[in-house]
Amino acid sequence: MQREEIQRQILTILEDLFEFENPGLNDNLRDDHGFDSIDAIELLGEIEKILGFSLTRAEKEKAMTIRTINDILDYIEVIASEHNK
């Protein structure tokens, strides 16, 4: 999956499900959009749907350090590429 396609899906999720307004790729998720750990756990469920497989414990824990939308995109790309190896 191309980064542009992942970005489109993630932005749609953030706007529709998490009520983000005008999200920027480098916005601080917590400070700019009130995105907290419960949101992050909900987002992980959405990421699993995009990827089509379940995340491991380590992958989920790693997601809790994400700060920006670009971080989310990097995170998904890395996990997808590792899974395809």
Binding site for other proteins (CB under 8 A): 19, 34, 36-42, 44-45, 57, 60-61, 64
Six-digit token string for 70: 């670009």
Cβ nearer to other proteins, comparing 5 with 61: 61
CA 69 to chain centre: 7
Our CB check for other proteins shows the closer of 4 and 19 to be 19
Rg (CA), the chain: 12
Considering the complex, state which of residue 26 and residue 37 has its C-beta at the smaller distance from other proteins: 37
Q: How far is the CB of 23 from other proteins (least distance, A)?
A: 16
Measure the CA–CA gap between 1 and 58, rounded to whole angstroms.
Answer: 22
